Structure 1
Amino acid sequence: MLAIIDFFLQITLRRRGPEDLPDSRFLLLLSALCYAIVQLFLALPIYSLSVMLFRSVLIDIGLLCITVWGLLWLTRHMSRSGQTLTAFFGTGALLGVLMLPFNYWLDALSVPGQPALLPTTALLAIVSWSLVVNGHIFSRALSIPFVAGLMLSLAYFFLNYLVFWQLGPPPA
């Protein structure tokens, strides 16, 4: 298990790419499950225990799969879909675990008019690095320059934001 975590860590440090992962359905499902669990805990302060909590995670996973499959199809690299999704889910779960303490710290400090500089800055740093990691995965999976992968990562981030914005505000 530590070897798998280390492998995803190497991808987050841009030392390895999705092509270095085994094309394993088991690893894909395991990483997707870990990603879903971490996303549930990250979204819990926003949605509480509600149908929307589970729906938001399913929408997030579905949007990622559709985006990856669409881009791989356009670039004629569909054979890389398993490894690419495994890389996205695994690194997303790993970075999500790093976000958890800051996410809950920020939630505990959420007093109107009081800044929560440290947890907000930490979350911003992790999200920024996540964009870099996603850009790295896109660039390696699609065989495009890193800058183009980073642009796709930013575009996906905004697409994800727009989709969740359309869902409306979280329940009060």
Structure 2
Amino acid sequence: MAVRDIIEIPNAKLRVKYQKVEDVSTVQNLIDDMLDTLYATEDGIGLAAPQIGHADAVLVIDLSEQRNEPLVMINPEIIASEGEVMSNEGCLSVPGIYVEVKRFQRIKVRALDRDGNEFFTEREDFLAIAMQHEIDHLHGRIFTDYLSPLKREMAMKKIAKMRKQASRTAS
């Protein structure tokens, strides 16, 4: 399909709350584009629809080395959680920034698959963290929201500095 541009902070589109998908046939091209976009990144493991400018409640994750085992979730909802773990996270919408975030260690999620079939999955550790990160995007949250105001300000300054350096290099 197509590789889309990934929206970066502080773009307001990243703060839009999701729209529940009522008919999965309406998001099939979006899913294809999301997977193409994810696979076009060097090190991305997940992508939520708001990151490419769509409010649909759709996310994709692929942790496989060959990047050929996508997990597609439509209307995902965390219905149970337990434990806590600290996770060093990055984000395609916040390039170059990695921070420690407190997440649930184990979660149970209800979602629809690409064909519209409801499924439940219980995950822990890294996949659970990735799912929480992408589900946050559907709620207009970014992992930097979990930082203290001081650390968030430092991260934003670092992003501004990196952008300024990149624009100098490009010209």
TM, length-normalised to structure 1: 0.30
Return the structure number with greater relative CO, CA threshold 8 A, min gap 6: 1
TM, length-normalised to structure 2: 0.30
Higher strand share: 2
